[in-house]
Amino acid sequence: MKNKVLKISAASLGTLHCINKYIDSNSANNTMKASGKYYHWKHGEIFYRVAGEGSPLLLIHDLNVFSSENDWNQIMNRLTSKYRVYVPDLIGCGRSEKPSVTYTGYLYVQLISDFIKDVIGEEANAAAEGLSAAYVMMADSLDKNLFKKIMLINPPALSSARKLPDQRSKALIRLFGLPIIGKTCYYIAVNKSNTENYLSETCFYNPFGLKQQTVKAAYQAAHFRNGGGRFLFASLQANYLNVNPAEAIKKAEKEILLVLGEQLPAMEDIAEKYTELNDTIKVNIIKNARMLPEVEAPDEIADFLCEMDS
């Protein structure tokens, strides 16, 4: 009986491995192409695009496996006559390297700081979305010579910083670290149906405005580099990436523009708490937008970014 169970288990793992290999060969590895450069960072290769002339502007996408520099496509071309625009894929995302590590907020604070110093080479205006907005504020608190002005797009509610890793977190990290089962679980989580549902039901105010091109880009970002995104996915699910930027916001000396999608959950709470901490923060609400205003309302975001350099 024991031998039969072992044979069945081995056969099941073999089948899952073949399915994973099939997904690898038919996903983004062969189709996700774009002209760009690589920053040879100490923790992995970082893909980025740069275009335009003028003062530097750094655009940083939200931190999740569906996000990439592609999120800024509709914005970038509108800004290149005014800025030299830098748009990286964060480590663990898009075309950048996806190492098998437990990702933490401080890793991204380091990356943002090092990218500005090593690639841009001077103070830059910056726009960052979601969790990445918190990391920009933390980077600014550690080095006041990184940024000129900062735009925070849908930053995390301060209450989310209370969610910390626990025993369940360690189990998640172990599960997704398994070479066959972990990758299978990840590919189920980021299949095409789940990708489209996440965008239409969570990210977009108007799901009928969701284009298949956007779905395809998100799906490819999650699958590029043979499922390596599962390590970031696990770290996010396990709460290893939560940080509390409250002190950094309170002590910030830079001009900060807070941009919120009108339909963002906890929008009013975020606006209230951030401005309580720092009453110099200016708030703009984007109507008919939720989590991706740079995709749903690119003209408004581009206008705000242009005004930052005035």
pLDDT tens-digit map of 215-224: 999 999 999 9
Placement of tokens 């690589």 in the chain: 38
Secondary structure (DSSP) of 179-198: TTHHHHHHHHHTSHHHHHHI
Please identify which residue in the block is written with the tokens 């009928």. Answer: 208
Least confident of 10-24, 52-66, 90-104, 267-281: 10-24
* Mean pLDDT (whole number) for 35-40: 94
Q: What is the pLDDT of residue 282?
A: 97
Instruction: Tell me what the mean pLDDT of segment 49-65 comes to.
Output: 97
Cβ atoms of 174 and 257 within 8 Å: the answer is no
The H or E element containing residue 65 is none
pLDDT at position 16 is 62
262-301 exposure pattern, b = at least 16 Cβ within 10 A, e = fewer: ebbebbeebbeebbebbeebebbbbeebbbbbbbbbbebb
**pLDDT at residue 29 is higher than 60:** no
Element (H, E) at 37: strand 37-41
Contacting residues for 167 by C-beta, under 8 A, at least 6 apart: none
**pLDDT class of 197 with cuts at 50, 70, 90:** very high
Q: What is the DSSP letter of 83?
A: E
pLDDT tens track for 88-131: 999 999 999 999 999 999 999 999 999 999 999 999 999 999 99
User: What confidence tier does 30 reach under pLDDT thresholds 50, 70, 90?
Assistant: very low
At 161, is the pLDDT very low, low, confident or very high (cuts 50, 70, 90)? confident
For residues 98 and 253, is the Cβ–Cβ distance under 8 A? no
Describe the chain by its helix, strand, coil percentages, rounded to 5: 50, 15, 35
In the chain, the percentage of residues whose pLDDT exceeds 70 is: 89
